[in-house]
Structure 1
Amino acid sequence: MNIAVDRKLVGRTVYESLRNDIVTGRLEPGYKLKLNELKERYSASINTLRETLMRLVSDGFVKFEDQKGFRVNPVSKRDLEELVDLRVMLETRGLRQSMADKDRLMDWKSGLLSSHYRLTCMEQLMMEDEAANVEEWELADRSFHLALVANCGSRQLIRYHASIIELFMRYQVLALEKRPFRGQASIDDHQALLDLIMKDDVEGAVDLLTHHIVAGRELPL
């Protein structure tokens, strides 16, 4: 295999592993990320880890301080509220624009149905065993909400929305340590939202999505 390609694949694997461990709380908020310890944990070189950690700093999961090194970014009520506000702004606008693009509406709705089916399956599995399914559920939930804005026609909106929702999902997963998964309530919310979209009820879908996101302010920290 090409050395550059091989290194890129290793870097991606390390990034995904570190990110997942931060999102799921295996690496707790505020945890000091020591390179030698991470080298053993992720079987990666120091250079790969530095590059990965700087990417995670850029993505908002890790904090870097001179003379102190890297730490997992802490969580706070204020940060959560900012993420909720940004999600409402970006996601509702993206949904509205996605529903307005009639030329690609059928393909977009088909993709949305697929994302919703996967999410529903994972939500049902989460009600059976949270610990065993949390990573796949987080990905399915994130993918469904990414799909909501996928037809908006704005690459920048899609890019920034993806970044915000990744950070928000960290709060969702960490909250599972303090309260059970929302279960049927979550399934009902997503089904109702999908139904409104399929009926081309723009205002109804935007209102429900706003309510769904704003409920995230009540996550326990």
Structure 2
Amino acid sequence: MERVIEAEQADFASEGISLGNASAGSPSMTSRAYAALKQDIISGALHPGAKLKIEQLRERYDVGTSPIREALSLLTSDHFVERIDQRGFRVSKASTAEFAELLKTRCWLEERALRESIANGSQAWEEQVVLANYRLSRIPRSQAADHFVANAEWEAAHKLFHMTLIAECGSTMLLKFCDQLYDQNVRYRQLSGTQAYPNRDVAEEHSAICDAVLARDADLASQRLMEHYQQTSIYLADSL
């Protein structure tokens, strides 16, 4: 499980996000281009349907043609980018129908992954879950007190918490799919413009999930995780 967490931290490090003991090594040009492009797509800086021209991307990210092409191919596999026949690439489009499918698929996969982790997880995994939730609870979701300003540190800790919950599922392929769906969900959250959730205590929802996991109550933990995702979807659906 530690290898999964270390890999997750390395992903954040490659995107310029520090998680304390994450690796500080310099990523390759392709990795750098991939991380920068992906971040701009997730954040909405590159809009859905926008054409991705190689020359413009070279200048934007200060890397060569080959790393850009390789990054675009990787992002096509991740469904963040679409290939337009022989005319190049564009940012994948977004729709309410796709978001509904994304949510349904994410719930299917993460429920199975969570149940497997609860069944197979060690005491060390439990400690990682507690630590991830504690760290997340200590980071403000907004950088400003009087209005919402997204906090990249919170976003990184939030992903780490959710991926730690399912880290002991025993399937690297399942973890990869869940990781991709998580990032796709963040993209929709950014596109909707809905970042703050009035009358909702997200930190308490995380702690409730954590408590059920520590109690090894797979039914309750799954129920709370699914409700957590459904609550977010209610806020997003009206804004897409």
TM-score greater than 0.5 by the shorter chain: yes
Q: CA deviation at 1:67?
A: 3.5
Q: CA deviation at 1:62?
A: 0.7
Aligned counterparts, 1:67-86, within 5 A: 67-86=86-105
Structure 1 residue ranges (4+ consecutive) displaced by more than 6 angstroms after TM superposition: none
Q: CA deviation at 1:132?
A: 5.3
Q: CA deviation at 1:94?
A: 0.9
Are residues 1:56 and 2:75 paired?
Answer: yes
Contact 1:142 1:169 in 2 (8 A): no
CA distance, structure 1, for counterparts of residue 188 and residue 178 of structure 2: 16
Q: Which amino acid letter does the alignment assign opposite residue 183 of structure 2?
A: E
Contact 1:63 1:72 in 2 (8 A): yes
Match for 1:161 among 169, 174, 178? 178
Q: Which amino acid letter does the alignment assign opposite residue 20 of structure 1?
A: Q
Contact 1:32 1:71 in 2 (8 A): yes
Greater shift, 48-57 or 155-164, is seen at 155-164
Contact 2:136 2:158 in 1 (8 A): yes
Aligned counterparts, 1:5-20, within 5 A: 9-20=28-39
Greater shift, 163-172 or 88-97, is seen at 163-172
Contact 2:141 2:150 in 1 (8 A): no
Q: CA deviation at 1:217?
A: 3.1
Contact 2:42 2:190 in 1 (8 A): yes
TM-score, length basis structure 1: 0.86
CA distance, structure 2, for counterparts of residue 42 and residue 61 of structure 1: 17
Q: Unmatched 5+ residue regions in structure 2? A: 1-24
Q: CA deviation at 1:105?
A: 2.3
Query: Are the structure 2 counterparts of residues 7 and 113 from structure 1 closer, same or farther at C-alpha, using a change threshold of 3 Å?
Result: closer
Q: CA deviation at 1:195?
A: 1.6
- Counterpart of 2:10 in structure 1 is none
CA distance, structure 2, for counterparts of residue 160 and residue 180 of structure 1: 24
Query: Are the structure 2 counterparts of residues 206 and 59 from structure 1 closer, same or farther at C-alpha, using a change threshold of 3 Å?
Result: same
CA distance, structure 2, for counterparts of residue 7 and residue 110 of structure 1: 30
Query: Are the structure 2 counterparts of residues 130 and 19 from structure 1 closer, same or farther at C-alpha, using a change threshold of 3 Å?
Result: farther
- Counterpart of 2:58 in structure 1 is 39
Q: CA deviation at 1:44?
A: 0.7
Q: Unmatched 5+ residue regions in structure 1? A: 1-5
Q: Which amino acid letter does the alignment assign opposite residue 204 of structure 2?
A: D
How many residues align structurally?
Answer: 211
Match for 1:115 among 101, 124, 132? 132
Q: CA deviation at 1:49?
A: 0.4
Match for 2:214 among 188, 198, 215? 198
- Counterpart of 2:107 in structure 1 is 88
The structure richer in helix per residue is: 1
Are residues 1:182 and 2:182 paired?
Answer: no
Are residues 1:172 and 2:189 paired?
Answer: yes
Contact 2:117 2:168 in 1 (8 A): yes
